[in-house]
Amino acid sequence: MSRRNSFHLYQVISLFTFAVGVNICLGFTANRIKRAEGWEEGPPAVLSDSPWTNTSGSCKGRCFELQEAGPPDCRCDNLCKSYSSCCHDFDELCLKTAGGWECTKDRCGEVRNEDNACHCSEDCLAGGDCCTNYQVVCKGESHWVDDDCEEIKAPECPAGFVRPPLIIFSVDGFRASYMKKGSKVMPNIEKLRSCGTHSPYMRPVYPTKTFPNLYTLATGLYPESHGIVGNSMYDPVFDATFHLRGREKFNHRWWGGQPLWITATKQGVKAGTFFWSVVIPHERRILTILQWLTLPDNERPSVYAFYSEQPDFSGHKYGPFGPEESSYGSPFTPAKRPKRKVTPKRRQERPVTPPKKRRRKLHRMDHYAAETRQDKMTNPLREIDKTVGQLMDGLKQLKLHRCVNVIFVGDHGMEDVTCDRTEFLSNYLTNVDDITLVPGTLGRIRPKFSNNAKYDPKVIMANLTCKKPDQHFKPYMKQHLPKRLHYANNRRIEDIHLLVERRWHVARKPLDVYKKPSGKCFFQGDHGFDNKVNSMQTVFVGYGPTFKYKTKVPPFENIELYNVMCDLLGLKPAPNNGTHGSLNHLLRTNTFRPTMPEEVTRPNYPGIMYLQSDFDLGCTCDDKVEPKNKLEELNKRLHIKGSTEGQHL
């Protein structure tokens, strides 16, 4: 009987860890606008085919519980919205917003009201549910961002903390160049950067999409290795399609490798959530993490994750704040036309025409529109920074700001893209209805019907290769893609791959382009391009007692971060594509030092040897031969007569 109970417990734990693992990616794009790669990047807020049907229980005393209830019981954890499994009173008890998220002078010392989102009463510190600015407003303390940088040479943790906790603050679509906004827009993030360890940018994996990169951050594996090769994909062995609007994404068979939360659980380290439903406000997510940090020692997790859907959502809608040139010369981009030189005389003779009023007016309107777009991208960055400030103020309030390690990291960047810059395969192929194209910033082509005998990848390749002088994509057989992309060795990657020029899209035909009813393009930005393009680079900042103080490190690939997170938690990493120890220069102390293999035999250096030949080759290695004789012999071979000609050799 005990064996049966233990086996049942193991099944429950396995289901819980898998569900948490899958949902690191599932909720990251919830309720996002339709866009490239099949227009399927965002699932609905509620899944209609959930196995849970009972919601009659209560969430009283259970809000955001770490132990997930299985069907048919209702749930109160942060995943229940995705599974349509929340108890009937989840919104009422767990998503309170009364009183707001901050203390004011009027609220200081208030009588505790359980309906408030957070508290400013005298007992809130003991209860671990203060608003994050309680001590600033009510006790006269300073905001974390207003304090000077301080070097933390060793973790200063309260009693009971076995290891410094790790908080992973991930942001979607955070282009590396957004950091140029600086402290005027993002003072909290700028302080993390300037006081901790940062790189100019971090390189994502290809394709620069959300799902592949988030799971790469979690596993240290390339997409071809962990299996999540896109936000949507088809597996010919399973004969099944993975996309964000179906139940297939919950099937463990799609997810390879070992993500960080499973590595932690297997080695006895508790992991908090790695997913937040889009309906849970950012302030509630921060307050929940802070409350988890006050749990008893045997219940408190050691690793947490916060996820922000911004600035990706605004980046798609409005585009990034400005164009950015690629870090390498694109083979598709035509060379710039050289400027025409004008002589001073011609410059004087050129008639000077007064500027047209209409053109000046349009110019001002364009300038105003550009400024408006910048404001619409700046505001989401301010909101993200405000959330970072709430986290750091909350940690300082709990006296954990010298204990916790924080990683601020993005998944990919953002580029200017509109519907007008779209290549249609119907301009190259006679019949596009027989193929399935994963469209957008990259193209993956497979036959629409697997039994189509007429489908020939070589013929399609021939019809797509070098057909136009201004062609904005380049077709590859997947095995011929640049090896640096590591995007071939997986059956879910189609045989034909289109590497699309940055700022462009690819689609089958004009009817496949999703537009608003008015005909206007619904997006101004996208991602997924070659991971060497500057605009696809993202952000990395490490702050805390284990990271170096005021240190700038060279850029690195995101496959390396899994090993660093394992080192921060004292874990042994699972096999991955990163090089363990390659980022030791980020950390104050190194828990892992790579060792070279021992030499079995000593090096053997052979003496100078001359090749022996049975034939007279007409040359010698003897230094005693006179230079004059050598010159005469050379002239003889070249049939040169006379000393004058020999002087010109």
Tens-place pLDDT, residues 157-176 = 999 999 999 999 999 999 99
pLDDT of residue 625: 55
Question: Both tokens of residue 329?
Answer: 């010369």
Taking a C-beta distance cutoff of 8 angstroms, is the pair 509, 486 a contact? no
Residues involved in catalysis = 210
- Residue 463: is its pLDDT beyond 50? yes
Q: What is the mean pLDDT of residues 380-406?
A: 97
Query: What is the distance between the alpha carbons of residues 579 and 566, in angstroms, rounded to a whole number?
Result: 13
Query: What is the distance between the alpha carbons of residues 27 and 174, in angstroms, rounded to a whole number?
Result: 17
Residue 208, C-beta contacts closer than 8 angstroms, at least 6 positions apart = 412, 413, 441, 527, 528, 529, 530, 531, 536
In the structure, what pLDDT confidence band is assigned to residue 44 with cuts at 50, 70 and 90? very low
In the structure, what pLDDT confidence band is assigned to residue 357 with cuts at 50, 70 and 90? very low
In the structure, what pLDDT confidence band is assigned to residue 343 with cuts at 50, 70 and 90? low
pLDDT digits (tens, 9 = 90+) for 187-240: 999 999 999 999 999 999 999 999 999 999 999 999 999 999 999 999 999 999
Query: What is the distance between the alpha carbons of residues 414 and 174, in angstroms, rounded to a whole number?
Result: 7
pLDDT of residue 317: 93
In the structure, what pLDDT confidence band is assigned to residue 564 with cuts at 50, 70 and 90? very high
pLDDT of residue 638: 73
pLDDT of residue 362: 42
DSSP secondary structure letters along 318-373:
H--SS----SS--TTSPPPPPPPP--HHHHHHS--PPPPHHHHHHHHHHHHHHHHH
- Residue 331: is its pLDDT beyond 50? no
pLDDT of residue 490: 97
User: What are the CA-CA distances from residue 450 to residues 23, 234, 236, 241, 571 (Å)?
Assistant: 31, 12, 9, 13, 44
pLDDT of residue 610: 60
Average pLDDT of the chain? 83
Q: What is the mean pLDDT of residues 614-638?
A: 67
pLDDT of residue 327: 41
Helix boundaries (H) for 179-281: 187-195, 210-219, 223-226, 260-266
Question: Around 360, how many Cα atoms within 13 Å sit in the side-chain half-sphere?
Answer: 4
Taking a C-beta distance cutoff of 8 angstroms, is the pair 565, 260 a contact? yes
Instruction: For the chain, give the percent of residues with pLDDT over 70.
Output: 77
Domains of the chain, CATH where assigned: 1-18+164-332+373-417+523-617 (3.40.720.10), 423-517 (3.30.1360.180)
Taking a C-beta distance cutoff of 8 angstroms, is the pair 222, 559 a contact? yes
Q: What is the mean pLDDT of residues 569-593?
A: 95
pTM over 0.75: yes
Query: What is the distance between the alpha carbons of residues 420 and 418, in angstroms, rounded to a whole number?
Result: 5
Question: Around 265, how many Cα atoms within 13 Å sit in the side-chain half-sphere?
Answer: 18
Distance spanning both ends of the chain, measured CA to CA: 97
Nearest CA-CA partner of 171 in 234, 102, 217: 217
In the structure, what pLDDT confidence band is assigned to residue 47 with cuts at 50, 70 and 90? very low
pLDDT digits (tens, 9 = 90+) for 428-455: 998 899 999 999 999 999 999 888 888 9
In the structure, what pLDDT confidence band is assigned to residue 349 with cuts at 50, 70 and 90? low
In the structure, what pLDDT confidence band is assigned to residue 547 with cuts at 50, 70 and 90? very high
Query: What is the distance between the alpha carbons of residues 4 and 8, in angstroms, rounded to a whole number?
Result: 6
